């Protein structure tokens, strides 16, 4: 008589529960995802402020480490309308393809006279180009002011946020400030990272 | 590999009926888990979790008619000059055109040191001066950024204002001649 051997089974784990967890997490991350924008690397300073940056209806003026200024508006239709507005004001006409291409750029930093050339580049080249930044000067009447005006004309409810790099020099900020103040914009947000308030600090 | 277990197919019972083999419905989930975690990893890396916060900054209107106000008394003012390499120079209760200014200009660093400077000055000035008719403390901070200071410096100082609860502060970006004289080379951009 042969021995009765227990049937050999490959060890089999039930992965169903693990799949459940994995996909639950996945769903969560997909829903909360706001993608890192790959334009202009900016490391913001931190502050103890706890006001969140609004999600929509916002225009962001960024100052990078060299003091170059970039401009971005969150909503695509507003971007297109903004381009049209500035085109009208400055006597430049943009084709529909240029408008469409512009509408998908989250932010840009080109003087108006170079913008057309940039928009006509192939897609992969567009991201490679080193952007020179929007001309800003201390008189308060430079292209940045025009863009802010055009954006506000496109959507009057836009809030303004300023995002500066840690090492950007103060004069760059001062020039941006002059541009905003020339349009009577005296209140805006500075985007910062969050930081723990020192011990003993209370909010009231 | 989806494991197909062959169990009890009803063969060999000899009852003659051909029954369909009963297949187990167990599916190996491993590749699905792999895929799931791969995507999780991707989304975790591509997401910025900590939403940036913002501090609001209100600057005085430039176009509006300025109403005549009494000039600030130097004894109530702490003046901070934001210098290079994260240095802060400060004048505590002394005007820059005062004779003593030169000797009383001190240097501090951002963070804890600056906070202490503000706190002690705040305490001293508020104790020596009564509140004004609107119930505000007498203590005023004048923040003077210089061309060599950075954006971070400015945010740090504004942050200190929030931390020390100094309600009255002013960001003034032009230096007077006497201030320039005192600070001298410390605020010259080096190119």
User: DSSP letters of A107-125?
Assistant: -B---HHHHHHHHTS-HHH
Distance of alpha carbon B126 from alpha carbon B119, whole angstroms: 10
The pLDDT value given to residue A150: 82
Does residue A165 form part of some domain? yes
Q: Which residue range forms the structural domain that includes residue A104?
A: 46-194
The pLDDT value given to residue A88: 80
Does residue A9 form part of some domain? no
Cβ-contact A170, A141 below 8 angstroms: no
Given a cut of 50, the residues of chain A with pLDDT beneath it are none
Does residue A38 form part of some domain? no
The pLDDT value given to residue B15: 58
Does residue A149 form part of some domain? yes
The pLDDT value given to residue B8: 47
Average pLDDT of span B14-24:
67
Average pLDDT of span B1-26:
58
Give this complex's ipTM.
0.70
Terminal alpha carbon distance of chain A: 87
More reliable by pLDDT, A3 or B42: B42
Does residue A34 form part of some domain? no
Out of B58, B63, B154, name the one closest to residue A187 (CB): B58
Q: CA of A190 to nearest chain B CA: how many angstroms apart? A: 5
Q: CA of A68 to nearest chain B CA: how many angstroms apart? A: 13
Q: CA of B90 to nearest chain A CA: how many angstroms apart? A: 18
The pLDDT value given to residue B10: 47
Pick among B151, B166, B171, B188 to test the A interface (most A CBs inside 10 A): B151
Does residue A125 form part of some domain? yes
Q: What is the pLDDT of residues A140-173, one digit of tens each?
A: 677 788 888 888 887 777 888 888 888 888 888 8
Out of A30, A44, A181, name the one closest to residue B59 (CB): A181
pLDDT at residue B14 is higher than 60: no
Does residue A91 form part of some domain? yes
Does residue A71 form part of some domain? yes
SS3 string of B67-113? CCCCCCCHHHEEEEEECHHHEEEEEECCCCCCCCHHHHCEEEECCHH
Q: What is the pLDDT of residues B140-186, one digit of tens each?
A: 888 888 888 888 888 888 888 888 787 778 877 777 777 777 777 76
The pLDDT value given to residue B190: 61
Number of domains in chain A: 1
């Amino acid at each position: 008589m042969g021995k009765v051997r227990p049937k050999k089974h490959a060890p089999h784990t039930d992965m169903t529960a693990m799949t459940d967890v994995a996909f639950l997490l996945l769903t969560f991350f997909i829903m909360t995802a706001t993608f890192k924008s790959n334009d202009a690397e900016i490391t913001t300073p931190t502050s103890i402020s706890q006001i969140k940056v609004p999600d929509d209806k916002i225009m962001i003026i960024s100052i990078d480490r060299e003091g170059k200024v970039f401009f971005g508006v969150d909503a695509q239709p507003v971007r297109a309308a903004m381009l049209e507005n500035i085109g009208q004001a400055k006597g430049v006409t943009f084709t529909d393809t240029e408008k469409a291409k512009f509408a998908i750029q989250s932010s840009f930093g080109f003087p108006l006279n170079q913008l057309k050339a940039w928009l006509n580049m192939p897609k992969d080249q567009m991201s490679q180009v080193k952007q020179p930044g929007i001309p800003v000067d201390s008189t308060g009447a430079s292209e940045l002011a025009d863009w802010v005006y055009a954006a506000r004309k496109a959507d009057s409810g836009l809030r303004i946020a300023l995002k500066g790099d840690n090492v950007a020099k103060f004069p760059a900020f001062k020039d941006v400030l002059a541009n905003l103040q020339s349009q009577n914009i005296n209140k805006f947000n500075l985007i910062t990272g969050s930081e723990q308030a020192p011990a003993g600090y209370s909010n009231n | 590999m989806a494991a197909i277990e062959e169990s009890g197919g009803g063969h060999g019972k000899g009852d003659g009926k051909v029954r369909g083999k009963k297949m187990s419905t167990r599916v190996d989930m491993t590749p699905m888990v792999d895929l799931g975690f791969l995507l999780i990893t991707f989304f975790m890396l591509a997401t910025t979790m900590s939403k940036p916060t913002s501090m609001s900054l209100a600057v005085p209107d430039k176009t509006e008619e300025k109403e005549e106000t009494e000039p600030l008394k130097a004894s109530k003012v702490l003046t901070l000059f934001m210098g290079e390499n994260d240095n802060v120079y400060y004048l505590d209760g002394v005007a820059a055109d005062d004779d003593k200014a030169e000797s009383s200009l001190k240097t501090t660093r951002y963070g804890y040191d600056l906070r202490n400077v503000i706190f002690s000055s705040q305490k001293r000035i508020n104790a020596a001066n009564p509140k004004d008719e609107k119930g505000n403390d007498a203590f005023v901070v004048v923040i003077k950024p210089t061309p060599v200071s950075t954006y971070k410096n400015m945010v740090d100082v504004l942050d200190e204002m929030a931390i020390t609860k100094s309600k009255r502060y002013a960001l003034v970006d032009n230096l007077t001649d006497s201030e320039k004289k005192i600070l001298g080379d410390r605020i010259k951009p080096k190119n």
